[in-house]
Amino acid sequence: MGCLFGELHRAMDRATPNLEERKALEANRRRAAADSVMDALERYAKAHGGRFHVVGSAVTGQMRYDSDLDVLVEFPPNHEHDAFTFVEDLCIEHRLPLDALAFRTMSARFLARNADRMVTFG
């Protein structure tokens, strides 16, 4: 009986992903979620007359298991709150951590430094 129990334990251990495998799975899930979110941001921006700027690892293809989605929101003042709410709700739905800021608050230095790691939707 002890031998069978040991074999069952070893089989279960092999079926359970190790830490590195779990990190890789989560990174892949976050990449897919970011792609889905960015598709929705494109549609929303076109429909509502504004722009979303995505910066960082989602753009460079280097999302990790602990990456968030960095979004700059650029909408007319009377639509900005709704745009923030949209991207927040979307990221909650996709279980994707979000760092969203108003584009108008970004310095020229920040924008220049991140120009090659930024994609604009809208």
Block residue for tokens 């760092």: 99
For 9-18, write each residue's pLDDT tens digit: 555 566 788 9
When the candidates are 3.40.50.800, 2.60.40.10, 3.40.50.970, 3.30.460.10, the CATH number that belongs to 19-121 is: 3.30.460.10
For residue 79 the two structure tokens come to 């639509």
pTM of the predicted model, to two decimals? 0.84
Alpha helices, DSSP H only, in the chain? 2-15, 19-48, 57-60, 77-93, 108-113
Amino acid 16: pLDDT? 86
Confidence category of residue 8, pLDDT binned at 50, 70, 90? low
For 12-45, write each residue's pLDDT tens digit: 566 788 999 999 999 999 999 999 999 999 999 9
Q: Is 75 exposed, middle or buried (0-12, 13-18, 19+ CB in 10 A)?
A: buried
Average pLDDT of the chain is 92
